[in-house]
Amino acid sequence: MKVLVADKISPKGVAHLRRQPGIEVVEAYGSSPQKILELVRDVHAIAVRSETKITAEVFAAAPLLRVVGRAGVGVDNVDVEAATERGVIVMNTPSGNTVATAELTFTHVLCGARPVPQAAASMRAGKWDRKSFSGVELFRKTLGIVGLGRIGGEVAKRAQAFGMRVLAFDPYLAPSRAKAMQVEAVSLDELFAQADFITVHLPLTDDTHHLIGEAAFAKMKQGVRIFNCARGGIIDEAALLAALKAGRVGAAGLDVFEEEPLSEKSELRQLPNVVLTPHQGASTAEAQDAVGLEIAEQIADVLSGGSTRNSVNVPSVDAATLKLLGPYLDLGAKLGTLVQQISPSQVSALRITFWGKIVDLDANPVTRSIQHGFLRRISGEGANLVNAPVLMQRLGVQVEVVKSTGESDYTELIQVEAVAPDGAVRSAIGTLIGKAGQPRIVGINGREVEVAAEGKLLVLENMDQPGMVGTVGTILGKDGVNIADMSLSRLTPGGTAYMVVRVDTEPSPTARAEIKGNPAIKMAKFVQL
């Protein structure tokens, strides 16, 4: 397999990839977009930083591509939607530059309190001007942190060391977590009203774009100091410029901008109370070594069939969790493909219900595995765990997941139901048997059966009358098809019964037609798991 390292990452990361058996590494730093299109034709993975753009055109030109790894946090230079549609995993390294970014953020906070860069520039100009560069202390001031993730948490620790009161706004922050970190969880408006210093640590989304704008500045203290080392666009730069000129904002520090590089004509460059840095958050030797090695390890894991970590478009699963979920993934895929093959061609919804220990686990990978199984024969090799939800949505199939705490006859149970537009339901239920967790089908369309979830199955619904087993066995015998296993089920004597026959080889079209043509057989489906 071939890995294209399109941007310069740590030599330690490149060396790690080269040590992996079966992996060829191509380093092509500074390649033009056209050259990238040529290089990706036979690559299985691409490693980038922020320079190379991995566009929809690149994905279309790379039929073997399985993973794109970004040595850093943001994936702005990767078309994640196109990657997902193509079934390509996109990963980043959110933890490798945590300390570096937190330290730069706090450097900006310090420079916002004490205008050291401005004083240093004055000294270089030959001046000795003590009065113009008076500042304030951080001690007993209030810092408001918008977004208390990894970096926000590290900033909080440093602020506390300076004797600051720390407020935090994060809609996903549990009260217990806030208490453990010794921060006060508040609403965004409360943070704006109380903070002397404000720093943002959020991803750039539709909801966070221009989160700090004219309306937000109006709610802040006069002279507030504000900082952004997260993503350009979270702060409305035009509104910030107006607030700085009006004195509403006393100082600002920015490492990221709405358009990068920042225009030479930007008025922000001219204001004396603004400190600007050119997107330097991760620019430490330690951070670059960490993210370069980390993304190399993640790419190698994916290519070797191991765990997926820090993916932005598929649930990340570490090695320990993957080992635990492995049997469920296999069972889920087989249930999904079984239900698809016994259902009508049009399905409006897929209901997935879990019982047992899996209820307490992250079932997202299993849900994707079920969807992938359902799509396997519909969408072919183009379907995988990455793009399965997109493909289901494109088909108009709504996926519903239920984690049940009710009782069942089995310790572990997964039920998959396909609902047709007319409300008809086709279903399959499976469980894991034995210490090895062997997948087993224990129910089809509401009938109790028991058959190994592997190989080839004949699923029959027939009138409950004498000789049906012999009739089916005779037809298969004449066709040279050996029966490996069989399960029978009925609700009431003389009604309809289910027969699930596991066979070693696929019956011929003639044999299948003879089975379907028997007047006592109401439904006959051949299923390949």
Q: How far apart are CA 173 and CA 145, in angstroms?
A: 12
Q: Which residues have CB under 8 Å from 169's CB, separation 6+? A: 144, 145, 146, 147, 148, 185, 186, 187, 188, 190, 191
Strands, sheet with 456-463, edge to edge from the N-terminal-most edge strand:
483-490, 496-503, 456-463, 521-528
Measure the CA dihedral 286/292/295/297, to 10°. Answer: -90
Q: At 205, is the secondary structure helix, strand, or coil?
A: coil
Marked catalytic residue, from 114, 150, 177, 279:
279
Q: Domain 2-93+286-303 adopts which CATH fold?
A: Rossmann fold (3.40.50)
Query: Beta strand 224-228 with 249-254: parallel, antiparallel or unpaired?
Result: parallel
355 secondary structure, DSSP code:
E
Q: Enter the DSSP assignment of 516.
A: H
Strands (E), 422-477: 425-433, 438-444, 447-452, 456-463
Peptide bond into 365 cis (omega under 30): no
Looking at CATH, the fold of the domain delimited by 455-529 is given as: Alpha-Beta Plaits (3.30.70)
Q: What is the pTM of this model?
A: 0.68
Query: According to the model, what pLDDT value does residue 306 have?
Result: 86
- pLDDT recorded at residue 381: 66
| Beta bridge partner(s), residue 440 | 431, 452
pLDDT at 57: 97
Among this protein's residues, is 231 annotated catalytic?
Answer: yes
Domain boundaries, the chain: 2-93+286-303, 98-276, 315-453, 455-529
Token reading at 509: 């079209």
Token pair for residue 95? 């933890």
Other beta carbons less than 10 A from residue 93's beta carbon: 27
> Quick one: pLDDT at residue 131?
93
CATH superfamily of 315-453: D-3-phosphoglycerate dehydrogenase; domain 3 (3.30.1330.90)
What does the alpha-carbon distance between residue 307 and residue 319 come to, in Å, rounded to a whole number?
A: 5
Query: Do the domains 98-276 and 2-93+286-303 match in fold?
Result: yes
Token pair in block for residue 246: 């009006």
Cα 393 from chain centroid?
Answer: 17
The single-letter code of the amino acid at 39 is L
CB under 8 Å to 488, separation ≥6 — which residues? 449, 469, 497, 498, 499
- pLDDT of res. 139: 98
Q: Is 376 a known active-site residue?
A: no
Q: Cα(501)–Cα(515) distance, rounded to whole angstroms? A: 13
Q: How many angstroms separate the CA atoms of 370 and 348, rounded?
A: 16
Of 49, 231, 248, 376, which residue is the catalytic one? 231
pLDDT along the chain (529 residues), means of 10: 96 97 96 97 96 96 97 89 93 90 98 97 96 96 95 97 97 82 96 98 88 98 97 97 98 97 96 97 93 96 90 82 87 96 92 92 91 88 83 90 87 94 95 88 94 94 94 96 93 90 94 95 93
Which one from 38, 260, 267, 286 is the annotated catalytic residue?
Answer: 260
- CATH hierarchy code of domain 98-276: 3.40.50.720
Task: List the end-to-end C-alpha distance of the chain, in Å, as a whole number.
Answer: 28
Q: Up-side HSE of residue 213: CA atoms within 13 Å toward CB?
A: 9
Taking Cα atoms as reference points, which of 339, 332, 520, 371 lies closest to residue 446? 339
Does the annotation mark 426 as catalytic? Answer: no
